[in-house]
C-alpha cells in the first residue's frame, strides 16, 4: 500500500513539473514575429522581396513621413530589379501610372501591361526621399521564370539600417514568403479576371446606351415622317 502511494505521489510530482514546461513550449511556438513589421512578398516581376509601407516600416527604415507604396527589401543578383536599376531601399509608389500599396499590386500592374503586349514599364521610385523615374524592360519570359525561395535570405539587401538584420528577418518569415509565392499566381490571375469582367460590363453598358440613342433617333425620324405624310393628305 505504501509502495503504491509513493509511486502515485512520484507521478503527480512529475506531472506538475512537466505541465508548465509544456505550456512554455506551446507559447514559444505560437509567439508572433518579434520584428513588428508587415509580411513580405516576392515580386515575380522584379525578382525582389517587397514590403508594404506602413508606420512601422517608415519608422524602422527611417523613411520620410507620409511615404506610401512598397519598400524594396532585397533584390536577386542579376534579376530584373537588379538589371533595371531598382535598388534595395527604394520605395515603389507607382507602376505605369497605377498607384501601388501592396506587393502583389506591382505584379498585377506588370502582368496587365505584359498581357497587352507592353514590355516597357515605368516605375515611380523614391530613393532616399527623392523621386527617381525608372524605365524598365520586363519580358514575359522573365516574369514567368521560377524563383528559388530558399535563396531569398541571401539576396542583396540595404545594409544602411544597422539595427535590422535582413537574413534573420527573411529566415523568420520563410514560411510566409513561401506561402505567398505559391499563391501569388492565383491572386494575380483572379485580379486580372475581375478587371476583364469589369471592362466587359462597362463596354456592354456603353453599347446599350448607344443602342438607346439610335432607337431614339429612329423614333424621331418616324415622327417627322408621319407629319409629312399627314401634311400630304391634307393637301
Please give the average pLDDT of every successive group of 10 residues along the chain, which has 235 residues.
52 48 42 74 96 94 91 96 95 94 95 93 94 94 93 90 86 91 89 78 60 56 50 46
Q: What's the pLDDT at 9? A: 58
Q: Enumerate helices (H) and strands (E) in the chain, giving the number of each.
A: 7, 8
What confidence score (pLDDT) does residue 60 get? 92
Angle at 170 between CA 127 and CA 63, to 5 degrees: 25
The CA distance from 43 to 60, in Å, is 22
- How far apart CA 51 and CA 217 sit, in angstroms, is 55
In this predicted structure, what is the pLDDT of residue 191? 86
Beta carbons within 8 Å of 49's beta carbon, 6+ residues apart? 40, 41, 42, 43, 72, 73, 74, 75, 152, 155, 170, 177
Q: How far apart are CA 163 and CA 169, in angstroms?
A: 11
Residues 6+ positions from 75 with CB-CB distance below 8 Å? 46, 47, 48, 49, 81, 82, 86, 87, 88, 155, 156
CATH architecture type of domain 41-192: Roll (2.30)
Classify the C-alpha dihedral 162-168-172-173 as positive or negative.
positive
Q: Residue 48 in contact with residue 42, Cβ under 8 Å?
A: yes
pLDDT at 29: 44
The three-point CA angle 104-162-180 to 5° equals 20
pLDDT computed for residue 160 by the predictor: 78
Residue the block writes with cell 525608372: 134
Amino acid at each position: 500500500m505504501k509502495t503504491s502511494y509513493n509511486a502515485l505521489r512520484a507521478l503527480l510530482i512529475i506531472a506538475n513539473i512537466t505541465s508548465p514546461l509544456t505550456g512554455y513550449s506551446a507559447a514559444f511556438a505560437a509567439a508572433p514575429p518579434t520584428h513588428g513589421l508587415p509580411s513580405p512578398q516576392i515580386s515575380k516581376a522584379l525578382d525582389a522581396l517587397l514590403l508594404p509601407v506602413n508606420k512601422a516600416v517608415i519608422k524602422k527604415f527611417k523613411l520620410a513621413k507620409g511615404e506610401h507604396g512598397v519598400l524594396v527589401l532585397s533584390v536577386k543578383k542579376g534579376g530584373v530589379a537588379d538589371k533595371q536599376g531598382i535598388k534595395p531601399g527604394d520605395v515603389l509608389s507607382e507602376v505605369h501610372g497605377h498607384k501601388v500599396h501592396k506587393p502583389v499590386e506591382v505584379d498585377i500592374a506588370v502582368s496587365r501591361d505584359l498581357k497587352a503586349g507592353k514590355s516597357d514599364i515605368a516605375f515611380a521610385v523614391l530613393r532616399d526621399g527623392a523621386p527617381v523615374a525608372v524605365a524598365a524592360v520586363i519580358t514575359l519570359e522573365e516574369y514567368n521564370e521560377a524563383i528559388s525561395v530558399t535563396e531569398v535570405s541571401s539576396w542583396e539587401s540595404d545594409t544602411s539600417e544597422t539595427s535590422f538584420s535582413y537574413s534573420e528577418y527573411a529566415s523568420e518569415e520563410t514560411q510566409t514568403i513561401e506561402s505567398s509565392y505559391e499563391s501569388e499566381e492565383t491572386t494575380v490571375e483572379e485580379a486580372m479576371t475581375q478587371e476583364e469582367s469589369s471592362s466587359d460590363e462597362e463596354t456592354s453598358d456603353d453599347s446599350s446606351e448607344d443602342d438607346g440613342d439610335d432607337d431614339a433617333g429612329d423614333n424621331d425620324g418616324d415622327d417627322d415622317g408621319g407629319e409629312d405624310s399627314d401634311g400630304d393628305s391634307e393637301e
